[in-house]
Chains A and B, each alone.
Chain A
Amino acid sequence: MNIIKFLNQFSTENIQEDKRASRRELFGSFGDIGKNLAMSALPLGLAVAPKKAQARSPKDAVSALQLALTLEYLEDEFYDLALQSGVIPSGSRAEKAYMQISKHEQAHVDFLVAGLTAAGVTPVSKPTFDFTVGGAFDPFNENGVGMDTAYAQLLALAQAFEDTGVRAYKGQAGNLIGTPYITPALQIHSVEARHASEIRRIRGLKGWITGMERGAGMPEATQAVYNGEENYMQGGVDLTSLGSGSPFTMEASSEAYDEALSGDDAVAIASLFIVS
């Protein structure tokens, strides 16, 4: 399957429509009590949910996994090239981190390919990536930007990819409800978060995201990764109103929850690095 075709299809596919439809059904099945609760505290009025999982259509689940695989291809190739570039100081904390992360991203690719294949689906093929984004970056010092600059870009891109991965998996979780893929997807998702935290800390940032800040030294082009992270409303609850003091500031309330990225937004970010 052609990757661009797939991504375009993914972007334009009416997954949102599907979601709205099934949500309507969900509300419909609760009757008046459900409706009243839903109005008073969306979506928290639904604690007494039906036992049966709301299975998503197989199409949604497959699309979610193909998108995940595309992002894993991207990460896997990035860390391979980074480790081969000679830009990362030998024996450094960053090198140890990149080696461990590289091992995981390779495993994620293999795992998703095997899972899709076992489900009778042809996995998307690996795209051709351009981590310079048409020459805007030079993370592997291929164009002679200099080791220091290349290294800074190499770390910045890793942060952007990991933070994107966390958000993108989260955005697809709903499409995997009721499928056998939900647990492994969650298991990959938290590994991406472990990676993100370490890369951010290597860069001198907190392991978590404050507001929509991309963090010092992050190129402006990565802002799309962080837009929306400033949210402090969860399930209709204003977190800043839950108490006083430092746990309930806007900063803490945004840090304590990572936000999801829609399929469209994840595709838009990944597409920056995909040539074909």
Chain B
Amino acid sequence: MKKQSVKVHYAGGFKNRRQFLKISGLTLASAGVLAACKDDNNDMPTPDPDPETPFDLGEGDLGVLNYAYALEQLEADFYTKVVNSFYSGISDDEKQVLTDLYNHEVNHREFFKAALTAATSGDTDLITPELEFDYGGLDFSDRAQVLGTAKVLEDTGVAAYNGAGYLITNADYLLIAGKIVSVEARHASAIRSLLNPDSADFSGDDVVDGNGLDQALAPSVILAAVAGTGFVKTEFTANKLP
């Protein structure tokens, strides 16, 4: 069976492609229709004169770094929105945590940009482009929505790094990924304790299994989940990552 490509190009606010296409007025009776839709309108009589191939993250260490860069772009962009317009009634503790997370994630994003530029000798064709985001109906003035989204983003980041670590062949890259993932886990813990203080949620049974292991998810699973949020407008694929 052909490996399913992961495309992240859904319009903001829609839960998934099916819902998006339904709202677009298309009827989706079968998976066959979905599959046909995959190739951009390949049933059109005239082909697009300038067909755009979405960026593919690539394979190996480069693919993993591009993958991390894409995720860090999302986190950084989200917290930039958060700190530029804090929800009303925010506590000092919450403000400090969210400001720090903004600082850390922007730093991570710019680090990956610099690292990838150095690693590819500046070949931008090989580097994840600057992604565009759209948070649709997400209400940044609502504490529960902001912290709830932050929780998902941080837990996802942890599971993503944990699940991609074994793909890294270079010990230096693995070390850097390790330096970042533990900070993401510290973030996840803090956000969880803001949402549910005085509880075990910081390291909750929903993310840590009976062996005391945090989540580790494959890039395809993570990217499908990211696509599901509808936050990422720029289309890209991860055809060469598991």
Q: Given the complex, which residues of A lie within 8 Å of B189, measured CB to CB?
A: 193-198, 201, 207
B187 within 8 A of A: yes
Structural contact, B190 and A201, CB atoms closer than 8 A: yes
Q: Quick check: B181 and A186 within 8 Å, CB to CB?
A: yes
Cβ contacts under 8 Å, A259 to chain B? 179
Known: A46-B170, A108-B212, A207-B186. A248 touches B107 (CB 8 A): yes
Quick check: which of B28-36, B114-122, B131-139, B228-236 contacts chain A, the rest being far away? B114-122
Contacts A111-B212, A190-B158, A201-B193 given; does A246 touch B110 at CB 8 Å:
no
A100 and B213 in contact (CB under 8 A), knowing A47-B119, A183-B166, A190-B182? no
Are B214 and A51 neighbours in the complex by a CB distance under 8 Å?
no
* B37: Cβ under 8 A from any A Cβ: no
Q: How large is the interface on B (under 10, 10 to 19, 20 to 34, 35 or more residues)?
A: 35 or more
With beta carbons under 8 angstroms apart, the residue of A41, A187, A257, A260 that contacts B216 is A187
Indicate if the CB atoms of B165 and A186 lie closer than 8 Å. yes
Say if the beta carbon of A144 comes within 8 Å of chain B: no
B19 close to A (CB within 8 Å): no
Q: Which of B118, B181, B183 contacts A255 (CB 8 A)?
A: B183
Q: Is the CB of A186 within 8 A of B110?
A: no
Q: Considering only CB atoms, which chain A residue lies closest to B194 in the complex?
A: A201
Which of B46-54, B144-152, B202-210 is the interface stretch?
A: B202-210
B180 touches A257 (CB 8 A): yes
Note all chain A residues with C-beta closer than 8 A to B114: 237, 242
Interface size class of A (residues with CB under 8 A): 35 or more
Give chain B's interface residues, CB within 8 Å of chain A: 59-62, 65, 96-97, 99-100, 102-108, 110-111, 114-116, 118-121, 158, 161-163, 165-166, 168-176, 178-190, 193, 197-200, 202-204, 208, 210-216
In contact, A49 and B170 (Cβ under 8 angstroms)? yes
Q: Which chain B residues border A99 with CB–CB below 8 Å?
A: 200
- The yes or no answer to A81 lying at the interface (CB within 8 A) is no
**Which chain B residue lies CB-closest to A246?**
B103
CB A159 to nearest CB in B, in angstroms, measures 12
Residue of B nearest to A33 (CB): B121
In chain A, positions 158-201 with a C-beta closer than 8 Å to chain B are: 166, 169-170, 173-174, 177-178, 182-184, 186-198, 201
B162/A198 in contact, CB under 8 A:
no
Check A234 for interface membership: any CB of B closer than 8 A.
yes
